[in-house]
């Protein structure tokens, strides 16, 4: 079963930095992610999702390839490619794999204007090494939501949050869920 982790930041740049670090850790086999999306809220209040994979484009590419192959059978690969690309783009746009887009848009409304959040769906990870690598983000974020165990969530909160982001005295850090 996968775990959902949502960490909010006061700016967009930090979220993009964290996503880049998460991708590097996945390439080093320290973690396996199903999905990682950055949610931003513009100064005008608009919520935007920055998907790691553009399903519409990849669907169009795959559909175009298979459409051209089928079109070759009927001696008209251009029409086959066009029809295949269109069908693939529609299928890619309709597919919602990973984290639910509506959930992320709703959560994005709670962000500060100009703020961002990293939404990660983690299949598995080497927790101690991942937390060590995320130490560059110490005291820069706020854990919004997780499906981690209570102890794992408290470790993450203790590393990412400060007393200012939690609104708690230092001696209560790591105690209880929000």
Give the mean model confidence (pLDDT) for residues 51-76: 55
* pTM given for the model: 0.67
Q: How confident is residue 68, by pLDDT bands cut at 50, 70 and 90?
A: low
Strands (E) across the chain are located at: 3-9, 31-41, 47-51, 116-125, 141-146
pLDDT in tens, 104-127: 999 999 999 999 999 998 989 888
Q: CA gyration radius for the chain?
A: 20
Q: What is the dihedral of CA 7, 12, 140, 20, to 10 degrees?
A: 70
Query: Domain residues of the chain, as ranges?
Result: 3-53+96-172
pLDDT, position 38: 93
> How far is Cα 86 from Cα 167, in angstroms, rounded to an integer?
51
Tokens of 80: 């086959």
Give the mean model confidence (pLDDT) for residues 135-147: 85
Q: Helices marked H in the chain — which ranges?
A: 12-27, 55-73, 77-94, 101-108, 127-133, 150-160, 163-166
Token pair 């100064």 is found at 43
Asked if pLDDT for residue 58 goes beyond 50, the answer is no
């Amino acid at each position: 079963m996968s775990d959902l982790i949502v960490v909010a930041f006061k700016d967009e740049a930090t979220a993009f930095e964290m996503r880049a670090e998460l991708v590097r850790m996945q390439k080093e086999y320290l973690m396996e992610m199903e999905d990682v999306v950055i949610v931003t809220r513009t100064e005008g209040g608009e919520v935007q999702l920055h998907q790691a994979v553009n399903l519409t484009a990849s669907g169009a590419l795959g559909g175009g390839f298979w459409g051209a192959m089928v079109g070759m059978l009927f001696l008209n690969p251009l029409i086959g490619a066009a029809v295949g690309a269109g069908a693939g783009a529609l299928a890619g746009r309709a597919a919602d794999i990973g984290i639910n887009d509506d959930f992320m848009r709703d959560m994005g409304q709670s962000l500060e204007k100009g703020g961002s959040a990293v939404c990660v769906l983690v299949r598995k990870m080497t927790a101690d090494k991942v937390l060590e690598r995320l130490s560059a983000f110490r005291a820069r974020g706020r854990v919004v939501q997780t499906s981690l165990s209570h102890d794992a969530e408290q470790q993450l909160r203790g590393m990412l949050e400060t007393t200012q982001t939690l609104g708690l005295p230092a001696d209560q850090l790591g105690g209880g869920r929000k």
